[in-house]
Amino acid sequence: MNEKKADYPYLVASSVVEEFRRKGFVITNDVFTPSILDHYANAVDAEVALRTLGDDRGIGEKTTYEQSFVQCMRLWETNEVVRALSCDACLAGIGAQLLGADGLHLWQDQALYKESGGRETDPHQDQTFWPIGDADLVSAWIPFDAVTFENGAMAYVPGSHKAGGLKPVDITHSTEPYDILADPALKGVAPEWVSVNPGNVVWHHGFTVHQASANTSPKLRRVFTVVFVAAGSRRTKPWPAFPLDRAKVPVGGLIKGDGLPLVWPVPNQQPSAPEVVGVAVGPQFQLDIESKARGPTS
Ligand SMILES: O=C(O)CCC(=O)C(=O)O
């Protein structure tokens, strides 16, 4: 073990790193103890409840996109307990090991709560949503409950991250979503379904094609995700992107600034929340129409 590795609060076996780099996704076991996970799950539950207060619609009354999940983004900015989860040194250290990065910025977090009766999440790549080119990006998918095919498990196309950015998929269904699984670059490789127990975390690369099954169970599927981007990455395109526009990152500029804190190496102080926050529920796309000055943190 070299000195640098000894600094990681959670050391990832080289076979796990190798699997991530080969397949574009991997599970890390026992990242959270049951009591710590419970502590965070309660905080995320409370924040989601606060943000969705007054929305009494049944699943059938929601848009196609909303039927995939209740989406609440950047909870770390409005809840101090969730901030500790999204800036957790174990998570950030694992992300750094998987990407082989010296530093990581927090790109976003979000609760993705798939309701009973919720539809599938359409196959897509995350990274093509954002003007960040081929920056190294990794996502931690953190279930608060056991997840199987019956209640909204994820499936990943092994090796698909090596294809780079394919045509973006409009998972919001504002337009007909591209059938990315039929993209010739994927060579017909079938997605692999992954069941996961709470405490374990599934990681996927920003270019890995993934989807989630419908929730046919009677219970809510509670998942929280944290996305990290390698330090030194730059904005590549001018089109709107909430976190980049908020931090005033120009094309060619480094991805950093207000709302994009460095979380690896572990900072001396927990990052502070940005001055301006985005919409409480749903995707945060555009700064000008969606943002407001932050109220008191809960
Ligand atoms: O959990 C889901 O339904 C989808 C998650 C997803 O697409 C992601 O974490 O990138």
- For ligand 1, whether the C-beta of 141 sits within 6 Å is yes
Residue whose CB lies within 8 A of the most ligand 1 atoms, among 121, 127, 156, for a mutation test: 121
Across 140-165, b (16+ Cβ under 10 Å) vs e yields bbbbbbebeeebbbbbbbbbbbebee
Q: What is the mean pLDDT of residues 161-188?
A: 96
- For ligand 1, whether the C-beta of 201 sits within 6 Å is no
Residue nearest to atom 10 of ligand 1 (CA): 126
pLDDT of residue 188: 97
d(CA 163, ligand 1 centre) in Å: 19
Instruction: Tell me the pLDDT tens digit for each residue of 75-110.
Output: 999 999 999 999 999 999 999 999 999 999 999 999
Specify the ligand 1 atom closest to the Cα of 223.
1
pLDDT band at 297 (very low <50, low <70, confident <90, very high): very low
**Does the pLDDT value for residue 217 go beyond 90?**
yes
**Does the pLDDT value for residue 224 go beyond 70?**
yes
- For ligand 1, whether the C-beta of 126 sits within 6 Å is yes
Domains of the chain: 3-293 (2.60.120.620)
pLDDT band at 287 (very low <50, low <70, confident <90, very high): confident
Looking at 52-190, list the stretches that DSSP marks H as alpha helix, in order from N- to C-terminal side: 80-86, 89-99
How far is 148 from 164, CA to CA, in rounded Å? Answer: 28
**Does the pLDDT value for residue 285 go beyond 90?**
no
**Does the pLDDT value for residue 4 go beyond 80?**
no
